[in-house]
Structure 1
Amino acid sequence: MSSVLKRTGRQRQRYEGNMRLVSGCIPYRWRKDNTDQMGEAEEILEVLMVSSPKRDDLVFPKGGWEDDETVLEAACREALEEAGVKGILREIPLGKWEFRSKSSQDDLCGMEEGCRGYMFALEVTEELETWPEQKNRARQWLCVKEAFRLSRYDWMCNALEEFMRVMEEVEEERKLETQDKNVEAEDVSECQSKSPKCYKRSSTMQYHGMLQHASQEIAIHFGY
């Protein structure tokens, strides 16, 4: 049994007018794939989705934003409760979306109200073996292309599109960091040849080459 208790009820639920405020995230990880001819492992971007109770579809972890927590805390809590994951949350939201229930079984927005949801990107660092909603939700890691295919609602596809844009920015930042480290290593190596007090520091990092392909898939999905 999970030692983390799930929050229940709507006593502390935040509203704006008749819109219920919701916070959630797109959990992601970099999974090492096959080793190439150079002996380096390729990194594949995957996102985590969870099953919906009483419905045959997959969603991203999300739930009501309550009045005793920040929107960031709410997103992390929902990731823990629904998917059993912890990680590093990017504080800048992917965006804000409004949606209404299309099913009487929806546990977020009633038929008489809508939801205003804030979504974030969460880099997963820990997967728990047990979590509060484990009996009602199964989690599944998917490549981005498959996540697009299985997303039931337009707002989920829009959030994924923004998520990929952010990941492209992250990739560019990583490439710049790698270049800086390589230049630094070259400088230290040259210094080492001139002085015994200097030492060589090396750091080798390889990143995936799938973001451009995924962006093309997004363009096809949205008809760009």
Structure 2
Amino acid sequence: MINSLFCLFQILLVSSSSDKERWVVPGGGVEPQEEPTLAAVREALEEAGAKGLLGRKIGVFENIEKKHRTNLYAFIVTDLLDEWEDGKVMGRRRQWFNIVEARDHLAHKPVQVTYLELLNVKDLNGIVKR
């Protein structure tokens, strides 16, 4: 049952800016004075051409060595633009994958694989904030 739910749940990945044959979770930096929630919505639009609703916060990932913090949110895609900033400027592609496939495509990004590991069956049913 759990595996079949994971195969139905979809995640949108974008091609890497450095290697167009590799996939990554869309995301980016928070601008000065910008809230992480607003950055998440902005980055989804810029990197993936995705509009939608910000769901619940899934977690915060910190890399103390690199002084880097990532806030991860569920994002419910309601619309995909035919043309978007990183698609035009950087030639980025996007593609939907189920969680099992996404995990395989993110093998070169172990930290991003951990994002997927935080999802569980409860998350699949309650991903949108109530």
- Confirm or deny a common fold (TM above 0.5): yes
Match of 1:133 among 76, 86, 92: 86
* Secondary structure of the corresponding residue to residue 155 of structure 1: helix
Q: Which residue of 1 aligns with 2:15?
A: 51
3-state DSSP of counterpart to 1:94: strand
Query: 1-side partners of 2:84 and 2:111: how far apart?
Result: 26
Whole-Å separation in 1 of the counterparts to 2:9 and 2:124: 11
Offset of 1:86 from its aligned partner?
0.7
Once the two structures are TM-superposed, the CA of residue 164 in structure 1 deviates from its matched residue by 3.5
Could you tell me how far apart the structure 2 residues matched to 1:145 and 1:58 are? 14
The one-character-per-residue Cα deviations of 1:119-177 (angstroms, maximum 9, x if unpaired) are: 10001001001111003211011111100111122221211122345534428xxxxxx
**Aligned match of 1:121 in 45, 70, 74?**
74
Distance of 2:68 and 2:46 partners within structure 1 = 19
Instruction: Give distance in 2, aligned partners of 1:166 and 1:81.
Output: 29
Please give the per-residue CA displacement for 1:6-48, whole angstroms capped at 9, x wherever unaligned. xxxxxxxxxxxxxxxxxxxxxxxxxxxxxxxxxxxxx932110
Contact preservation (8 Å) 2:16, 2:24: yes
Using CA pairs under 8 Å that are at least 6 residues apart, name the structure with larger relative contact order, 1 or 2. Answer: 2
Q: What amino acid sits opposite 2:123 in the alignment? A: M
Asked if residue 158 in structure 1 is aligned to residue 123 in structure 2, the reply is no
The residue identity in structure 2 corresponding to 1:49 is L
Question: Identity percentage over the alignment?
Answer: 35
Task: Indicate conservation of the 8 Å contact 1:45/1:144, yes or no.
Answer: yes
Q: Paired residue for 2:40, among 72, 75, 95? A: 75
Distance in 2 between residues matched to 1:141 and 1:168, nearest whole Å: 16
Q: Normalization by structure 2: what TM-score?
A: 0.78
Higher radius of gyration, 1 or 2? 1
**Does the CA-based 8 Å contact 2:24-2:109 persist in structure 1?**
no
The count of corresponding residues between Structure 1 and Structure 2 is: 117
Query: Which residue identity lines up with residue 105 of structure 2 in the other structure?
Result: L
d(CA) in 2 for partners of 1:76 and 1:147? 21
Instruction: Point out where structure 2 has 5 or more consecutive residues left out of the alignment.
Output: 1-6
Q: Of the candidates 52, 55, 60, which is equivalent to residue 96 of structure 1? A: 60
CA-based RMSD: 2.3
Q: 2:46, 2:84 within 8 Å by CA — same for their partners in 1?
A: yes
When normalised by structure 1's length, the TM-score is: 0.47
8 Å CA contact 2:15–2:22 kept in 1: the answer is yes
Q: Partner amino acid for 1:130?
A: E
